[in-house]
Chain A
Amino acid sequence: MLQVDNIVTYYGNACALHGVSFRIEENEIVSIIGANGAGKSTLMKSIMGVVRPRSGAITYQGENITNLPTHKIVGKGIVYVPEGRDVFATVSVQDNLEMGAYSRKFSQKELNGLYEEMYTMFPRLKERRKQMAGTLSGGEQQMLAIARGLMSKPEIIMFDEPSLGLAPIIVDEVFDRIKYINQELGISVVLVEQNAYMALTASNRCYVMENGKITKEGKSSDLISDDSIKEAYLGM
């Protein structure tokens, strides 16, 4: 569905990705794990066109999207929920959701239907729909960021560190919703995580990144029992 071939990305003169290849098929959850600075977020940003790869190709459903501007990539059905949530703090919760649907021309009726759908999935957002997004707690902001991502009815949604800075009980809730999005809504999910155990248990396949390269890939169930992964990422 989405195929990344051998991309090389630089920040100024510093090379952040040294030829990374990655793919995701329909209805999969694929996770990417690795330490800070391994290049996980850069890979996501390269896919979204926020940073441009110097070489390599990104293909989405047979179409080369490597050099498309970000808003067009979103229009094609790929959504990225960035690290640190990035909700629009001084805008109301409901307007944040409306912005999530910016790339689609929905009628007011369709929009209202989507709001209801999101509020059923995240009831806490309904209570707070008129509040400014900046007044929400970290967990609520993460829920809002996820809901905002879903508003454009994407085919692939990519989560960057959704568990970052959240209480363990909220982390469980977030992962619960991510599984629901994949299983019930049929959306393919890319999950970038430092929390390797959560990522491996939630995903079908997993990529391990180190210093801008993919060092291992395979079925998550295999990797979770791999000795080197256990030692480096699971602390066992």
Chain B
Amino acid sequence: MQGILLQLIVSGIAMGFVYALVAVEYTLIWNACGLLNFSHEKIIMLGGYVFVGTCITALGMSNIMSAILTIILLGIFGALIAVIIFIPLRNQTRLIAVVATVMLGQILNEAAVLVWGPVALMPKNFLSGVFTFMGATVAKSYVYIIIVAVIIIALLELFFKKTKPGKGMTCVSINKTASALMGINVKVSIVITLILSFMICGVLGIITAPIFTVKQQMATMIALKGFCAGVIGGFGSLPAAIAGGLVLGIVENIAGVVLPAVFKDAVAFALMILFMLFSPKGLVGVRDHVRNLQENRKQKKGKVNI
């Protein structure tokens, strides 16, 4: 029993980090240009196909080299999409950019079949096998997902808190005009954001390839649930996105045991709707609410003393 619980928690945390990375990846773009990247699901898919289909199978590269090349290629693709779609459309009506990103997703989806064929691809000897400890059997891929995600989140934190371009991007997300008035080049900042976001998508495509296999719909669920994670955490904040992802991953996995298994996927969406109804600001809203309650209590105590 203890083993199963541990197993559930580890895989829950791993999936939580996957959702968190998805939430981080689109929150970055939302903060930089106020647009949602509706093609992100297909960018993750692209990462998977480039990794397995092109680098490993066609070019015969090693797993590590393939992963590195995939991430670099996705970064270049991100810069390209920034110049073609996000920069020209950022000041247009939102709908135009929405349609543009949806269409980008469709193009990638169909292109994937043409280039890599309709059969699902599976990386061989990549993050396969299991760890066994304390009576729990945990797939290695889950453990690697946790490690990779923690490294990425730590690097992002360093980038945004310690480097000048990172701090500049934080300011762009707060106020674009004021940032431009500081001499920050907002367009360059959008390009950097897209590169980062697409690289994270690439990583997601790689690390989820052994779990979902590489196919057109491989990222549909995690992209949607990543969106739920953002809403549950509190839209537009990176730490909130990570918290939302973890909460969602663990709750969903435990619910999979308590409830009939078919309801597992519904839990994420039910949770999101509950948050939208009762705490539209997400966990951040809950935290603020608790803080207000505490302060009210303090003030009341103060009055009694007077």
Contact = CB atoms under 8 A, between A and B. Distances in A.
A82 interface: yes
Interface in B168-183: 168, 170-171, 174-175, 177-183
A69 B167 contact: no
Interface stretch (A19-27, A96-104, A222-230): A96-104
Contact of A86 (B164, B167, B177): B177
A89 interface: yes
A80 B177 CA distance: 11
Contact of A91 (B164, B167, B184, B186): B167
B185 interface: yes
A52 interface: no
B171 A91 contact: yes
Contacts of B182: 74, 99-100, 102-103, 148, 152
B167 A82 contact: no
A135 interface: no
Interface residues of B, number: 17
Contacts of A74: 180-183
B177 A98 contact: no
A147 interface: no
B177 A50 contact: yes
Contacts of A99: 167-168, 171, 179, 182, 184
A80 B181 contact: yes
Nearest to B175: A86
A75 interface: yes
Contacts of B186: 71
A95 B177 contact: no
A233 interface: no
A95 B174 contact: no
A102 B174 contact: no
A88 interface: yes
A98 B167 contact: yes
Interface string A76-109: 0001101000111111000100111011100000
A86 B184 CA distance: 15
Nearest to A45: B177
Contacts of B171: 88, 91, 99
Q: Identify the interface centre among B164, B175, B185, B186: most chain A CB within 10 Å of its CB.
A: B185
B265 to A, nearest CB: 35
Given A69-B185, A102-B182, 7 more contacts: A71-B186, A74-B182, A82-B178, A87-B178, A90-B174, A99-B171, A103-B182
Interface of B: 164, 167-168, 170-171, 174-175, 177-186
Interface of A: 48, 50, 69-71, 74-75, 79-80, 82, 86-91, 95, 98-100, 102-104, 148, 152
